[in-house]
Amino acid sequence: MSEITNRDAPFCLQEDCPRYEECPRRKARGCRNCPIEVTSGRVRRVLQWSTLSSERKELILMVVAAVTLAAGGLANSLGWNGVAIVAYTLTYLSGGWYGALNGLQSLRERKLDVDLLMVLAALGAAVVGAPFEGGMLLFLFSLSNVLQNHALSRSRSAIRSLMKLRPTEVRCEVDGETRMIGLDDVTVGTVVRLRPGDRVALDGEVLEGESSIDESSLSGESMPVFKTEGNDIFAGTINQHGSLSYRVTKPAGQSTLDRIITLVEEAQEEKAQTQRFLERAEGYYAGFVILFTLGLILVPPLFWAAEFSSSFYRAMTILVVASPCALVISTPAAFWAAIAGAARRGVLFKGGVHLEQLASVDTVALDKTGTLTTGQPVVTNVFLNSTSISPDRGRQQTNWKLLQMAASVEAHSEHPIARAIEKSAMDEGCDLQPIEGFQSHPGKGAEASVAGARILVGSPSLFRDRGGVLNDKQRAAIDELLSEGKTVVLVAEIAPDGPLHRLLGWIAVADQIREDATAMVGQLRRLGIRRIVMLTGDNTRVAQQVARQAGIDEVAAELLPEAKLEKIKELSEQGVVAMVGDGVNDVPALARAHVGIAMGAAGTDVAMETADVVLMSSRLSHLVHAFALARKSRVVVTQNLSFALGVILVLASVALFGHMPLPLGVVGHEGSTVLVCLNGLRLLGFKTN
C-alpha cells in the first residue's frame, strides 16, 4: 500500500497495532496522526481481536469469565448439569487463558512461576468436584491482573503525558513565508515562529524577540524563565507572553523532551536489587510450594487414612494462598510509580537500582560552583595599587582602564570568571581593545598583548610562577578579600624580555551562594545524611567562607578533577556516597560515586549520559525531593513486603491447621496483591514537606 500522509486523521497509532513497524512516523512519540489506512480524509480501521492491546484482551476475557461463572453457578443450582459444564469450561478457558500461556512459557524456559500455580490450583479444584471454586479462582486471578494493569498504567500515563507536551506541527518561516509544517519534516536550522501560548515543539536557540517561557513541564520549576536572543529553549515548554523566532538546533526525536521520555522508559525497565532478588527466588519458591502441595495430597491419605478429596482440597487451598503474587509485584509497583512521579517534577532516575541505592546514601559530596553557588560570578571590586573602588560607585579613569585591559584579554577565555570580568567591563561602557598573541594558562589565567603592552591576567599562583612578588600591604589586602569568600584576579604587565614588569592592580570576583543552600543542607541532615562534604577547585579561604554560609563542616578545596576523583574514592571507602555536580566538569567524580546526581541538566547531553539521577532544574529543593522520595520508596517497599509476607503466613497457617474455604483463600490472596499495587501507587503524588 502506498504511503498516506494525511495529517488530519484523528487516530493515534499505538505500539500494539500489528502494523506499527510499517508506520513511517512511529518514532514521533505520541503521534496522533496515523498515515496508514486513510481514505477520503477519514480513518478506516476494522476492529479485530489481533489489533487489541493485551490489557484490553485480558479485560474482555475477565468479563467473559465472570458471566460464565455466574451462569454456571445458576445452572448448577437449577440442576442443569450440562449447561453448567459448558459454562464452567468457558470460565476456565477465558479466566485461565493468559495464566496458562504464561505458565507454559515459563516451563519451556525451565522456570516455575505464579501463573502456573494458579492454573494448577484451579484444575485441582475441578478434579475434586469443586469447579465453581476453581472458576472463581481463575476469575479473581484475572480480575487481580486487570486491576494491577490499571494501577500500573497510572505510572505509565505519566510518561504518556510527557509525550503529549509536543505539538505535531510547527509554524516555520520558509522562503519568506510562514507555513505549518509537520514535526518530522522540520530540519536543523529551520526558523520557527512562536506566538503567545504556543508550545515549543523542538529544541532551539532564540534569534529574535523576548518572552517568558514556562519550563515547569521539564524542570518542575513553577516560575517562568525569561528568554531573549541567544538563549536556549526546549521542546515541551510553553511561550507565555511575547513573540519569538528561534532556530532549531535538534531534530525531532533528539530533543531534551525526547531524552527525558527515553530515560524514564528505560528506567522503568531497570530493576532494583530487591526486585531482582525476588524474581530469582520466585522459581525456587514456586517449586517448594508445588512439592509441599504434593506432600499434602499424598502423605495424609497414605499414613493417617485421611480422605483423599479432603487432603486434595486443603492442598489446593495452600497452593493458592502461598503463591507469591503480592511479593513479586510489591517492589516494581512502588518503584515504577516513584520514577514516573519524579519525572513529572523534573527529577529523572535512570532506574530502580539508583532509587534504591539513593535511599542508602549516608554521605553527600557537593561541588561548590554551580551547585551550592549560582555559578555566575560577578565583579565586586576593582583595585589599583592601594585604591579600592566598586563598579557601582562611579567611574575612575585608572580603574576603568585596568578593567578594560583585563576584559580585553579575558574576552578570549570561556572561564566563568573571565565572563564575569568581560560583563563588568561592558556594563561600565568599556570598549574592548584588539589583542595579539593570546595564550591561555588552563585553570590559572591568560595573557595577551594589549595596545603594545603584554598583559597577564590570572590567579596569585600564576603571578608567583612568573616571578611576581607581593609586598606585605598587597598581600594583606588580598588575604582580606579571600577571607570574605572572594576570588582574586591579578593584572600585571610583562616586560619585553619575559619577567613581570609591574603589578597594575587586581579584581575581586564573587560567586553568590544560592538562597536555598543553607535550608537544603539542614533538610539533608534531617533525612539522615550524616556527612556532607563540599568539593571545589577554588582556594581554601573562599571555599571555607561558602561552606560556613551553607552550614557545611567539611571542605576539600583546591582540587583538580583528578584530586576530586581521588576524594570520592576515599569517601566511598567510608560510606555510601552521592556526588552532586553540574555534570560537565565533574564527570569522573559523578561516575565514581555510588550515585551520581547532575544539577540543572536541561539540554546537557553529558549529564544525561553520566549521572544516575538528573535534576532538570538548579533548585536545591529538587535535590532534597530526590533523597526524600528515595527514602519514602524504601518505606513503601518495606510495607508492601511485610504485608504480603504476613498475609501469606496467616492464610497458609489457617489453611494448614484449620479450615479455610478455597474462595476465601482466593479473595485474601488476590486482595493482598491489589492492595500492594495501590500502596505503591501513592508514590506518584509524593511531595516533599
- Chunked into runs of 10 residues, the chain (689 residues) has average pLDDT values of 34 44 46 43 45 76 90 89 90 87 81 76 79 83 74 57 69 80 84 86 89 73 77 85 87 78 64 72 80 89 84 85 84 86 84 89 90 85 63 55 90 83 87 88 84 88 84 88 85 78 87 89 95 87 87 88 86 93 73 87 59 84 94 95 94 89 82 88 85
Q: CATH 3.40.1110.10 region(s) of the chain? A: 378-510
Q: Which residues are CB-neighbours of 4 under 8 A, at least 6 positions away?
A: 35, 36, 37, 38
Q: Please indicate whether residue 516 is annotated as part of the active site.
A: no
540: its cell numbers: 581554601
Strand, helix or coil for residue 178: strand
Nearest C-alpha neighbor of 122 from the set 680, 679, 669 = 669
Question: How far is Cα 531 from Cα 620, in angstroms, rounded to an integer?
Answer: 17
Other CB atoms within 10 Å distance of the CB of residue 56:
14
Of 258, 367, 511, 586, catalytic: 367
Return the half-sphere exposure (C-beta side, CA atoms, 13 A cut-off) of residue 158. 26
Distances (CA, A) of 341 to 38, 131, 154, 159, 229: 37, 43, 10, 9, 34
Instruction: Write out 181-245 in H/E/C secondary structure.
Output: EEHHHCCCCCEEEECCCCECCCCEEEEEECEEEECHHHHCCCCCEEECCCCEECCCCEECCCCEE
Nearest C-alpha neighbor of 68 from the set 52, 53, 86, 43 = 86
Question: How far is Cα 115 from Cα 105, in angstroms, rounded to an integer?
Answer: 10
491: its cell numbers: 593584572
Question: How far is Cα 689 from Cα 684, in angstroms, rounded to an integer?
Answer: 15
Give CA angle at 653 (648, 658), nearest 5°: 135
Other CB atoms within 10 Å distance of the CB of residue 397:
7
**SS3 helix, strand, coil % of the chain, rounded to 5?**
50, 20, 30
Strand, helix or coil for residue 471: coil
What architecture is domain 378-510? 3-Layer(aba) Sandwich (3.40)
Which pLDDT score is estimated for 37?
43
Which pLDDT score is estimated for 639?
96
Question: How far is Cα 655 from Cα 564, in angstroms, rounded to an integer?
Answer: 60
User: Cα dihedral sign for 52, 58, 61, 66?
Assistant: negative
Question: How far is Cα 96 from Cα 61, in angstroms, rounded to an integer?
Answer: 9
Question: How far is Cα 268 from Cα 334, in angstroms, rounded to an integer?
Answer: 11
> Residue 432: what residue type?
L
Which pLDDT score is estimated for 16?
44
Strand, helix or coil for residue 74: helix
Residue for grid cell 532534597: 624
Q: Which residues are CB-neighbours of 356 under 8 A, at least 6 positions away?
A: 272, 273, 274, 335, 630, 633, 634
- 196 near 233, Cβ under 8 Å? no
- Confidence (pTM): 0.70
Element holding 383 (H helix, E strand):
strand 378-384
Nearest C-alpha neighbor of 670 from the set 263, 433, 329 = 329
DSSP letter assigned to residue 515? T
Question: How far is Cα 172 from Cα 161, in angstroms, rounded to an integer?
Answer: 25
Residue for grid cell 495529517: 7
Which pLDDT score is estimated for 358?
95
Strand, helix or coil for residue 612: coil
The C-alpha torsion from 669 through 673 and 675 to 677, rounded to 10°, is 180
Nearest C-alpha neighbor of 418 from the set 443, 394, 435, 398 = 443
- Domain 169-254: CATH class, spelled out: mainly beta
Q: CATH 2.70.150.10 region(s) of the chain? A: 169-254
User: Cα dihedral sign for 160, 161, 163, 167?
Assistant: positive
DSSP letter assigned to residue 594? S
Q: Which residues are CB-neighbours of 505 under 8 A, at least 6 positions away?
A: 382, 383, 384, 385, 399, 402, 490, 491
Which pLDDT score is estimated for 71?
92
342: its cell numbers: 519524579
251: its cell numbers: 531534530
Nearest C-alpha neighbor of 257 from the set 331, 182, 167 = 167
Sequence-distant contacts of 296-305: CB under 8 A, at least 24 apart: none
Tell me the per-residue pLDDT of 13-39, one tens digit each, with 9 for 90 and over: 444 444 444 454 444 444 444 444 433
Other CB atoms within 10 Å distance of the CB of residue 473:
10
Other CB atoms within 10 Å distance of the CB of residue 47:
6
Describe the crossing of helices 114-127 and 131-163 by its angle, rounded to 10 degrees.
160
- 564 near 588, Cβ under 8 Å? yes
630: its cell numbers: 528515595
Report the DSSP beta bridge partners of residue 181. Answer: 170
First-last CA distance in the chain = 57
- 575 near 363, Cβ under 8 Å? yes
106: its cell numbers: 515459563
Question: How far is Cα 553 from Cα 9, in angstroms, rounded to an integer?
Answer: 62
Question: How far is Cα 33 from Cα 26, in angstroms, rounded to an integer?
Answer: 10
